[in-house]
């Protein structure tokens, strides 16, 4: 089945034309265009996805994929360690299986396994610089499926970011399927009750830094020391 620009040619070939001779001519032209136009699309995907290898890390009864990005080794999935105070989105175990658990900032700083740590803002920025800047980082880090409204990424580096949403201390949860939020270990110097969180959304290619109340519940990605 044709795709991309060729699909548009195919659709145009199926217009309802009354004159049979005109219709035959149009189909002849379209056939020629399809034959000689099959070599490419005017909107090719920027990447077919990650083609490198993964390693693994066993921690507290679970095995996690890990991936090297530049000179850093990251978990390639969200942490799902049942620490005190952590939550599954909407208190559903199935959401933990998909998105990992959500943690407040104080807990997030303590849950990574030995030899790994909650990345600082500077750690995140090292990855950002390596993959080409924050304006396209979201599209390169987001998984190729799992984001609502076709907000998926290319997963070019194997990071496989998923939209786990967030939780609040009052027991409410928000935006699973639409947004992903991850803690950094860095606190705002001017406001000690806020820490830096990394976020990306279904409707954009960017990633963002935000000052977040430390009681909020975010996802965690651990980085090797």
Q: Say which residue the tokens 């000179």 belong to.
A: 71
- What is the model's pLDDT at position 103? 98
Give tens-digit pLDDT for 92-103. Answer: 999 999 999 999
Single pTM value for the model:
0.79
Give tens-digit pLDDT for 2-18. Answer: 433 333 333 333 333 33
Question: What is the rounded distance in angstroms from the CA atom of residue 12 to the CA atom of residue 30?
Answer: 8
The whole-number average pLDDT for the span 112-139 is 98
Residues 6+ apart with CB under 8 A from 151: 142, 163, 178, 201, 202, 203
The whole-number average pLDDT for the span 65-75 is 98
Percent of the chain with pLDDT strictly greater than 70: 79
- pLDDT-based confidence at residue 203 (cuts at 50, 70, 90): very high
The whole-number average pLDDT for the span 27-50 is 41
Give tens-digit pLDDT for 23-37. Answer: 344 334 334 333 333
The whole-number average pLDDT for the span 70-94 is 98
- What is the model's pLDDT at position 36? 35
Give tens-digit pLDDT for 101-111. Answer: 999 999 999 99
Higher pLDDT, residue 32 or 120: 120
Delimit the domains of the chain by residue range. 4-37, 55-224
Higher pLDDT, residue 42 or 171: 171
Average pLDDT of the chain, as a whole number: 84
- What is the model's pLDDT at position 48? 66
- What is the model's pLDDT at position 167? 98
- What is the model's pLDDT at position 42? 28
- What is the model's pLDDT at position 101? 98
């Amino acid at each position: 089945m044709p795709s991309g620009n060729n699909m548009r040619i195919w659709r145009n070939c199926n217009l309802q034309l009354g004159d049979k001779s005109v219709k035959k001519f149009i189909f002849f032209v379209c056939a020629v265009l399809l034959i000689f136009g099959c070599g490419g699309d005017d909107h090719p995907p920027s990447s077919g996805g990650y083609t490198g290898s993964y390693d693994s890390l066993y921690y507290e009864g679970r095995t996690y994929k890990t991936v090297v990005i530049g000179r850093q080794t990251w978990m390639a999935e969200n942490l799902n360690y049942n620490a005190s105070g952590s939550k599954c989105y909407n208190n559903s175990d199935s959401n933990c299986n998909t998105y990992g658990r959500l943690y407040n900032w104080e807990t997030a700083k303590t849950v990574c396994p030995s030899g790994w740590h909650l990345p600082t803002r500077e750690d995140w920025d090292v990855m950002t610089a390596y993959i080409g800047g924050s304006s396209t980082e979201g599209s390169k880090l987001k998984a190729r499926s799992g984001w609502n409204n076709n907000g998926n990424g290319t997963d070019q580096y194997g990071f496989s970011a998923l939209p786990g949403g967030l939780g609040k201390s009052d027991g409410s949860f928000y935006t699973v399927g639409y947004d992903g939020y991850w803690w950094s270990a860095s606190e705002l110097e001017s406001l000690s009750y806020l820490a830096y969180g990394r976020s990306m959304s279904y409707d954009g290619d960017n990633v963002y830094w935000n000052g977040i109340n430390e009681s909020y519940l975010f996802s965690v990605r651990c980085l090797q020391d």
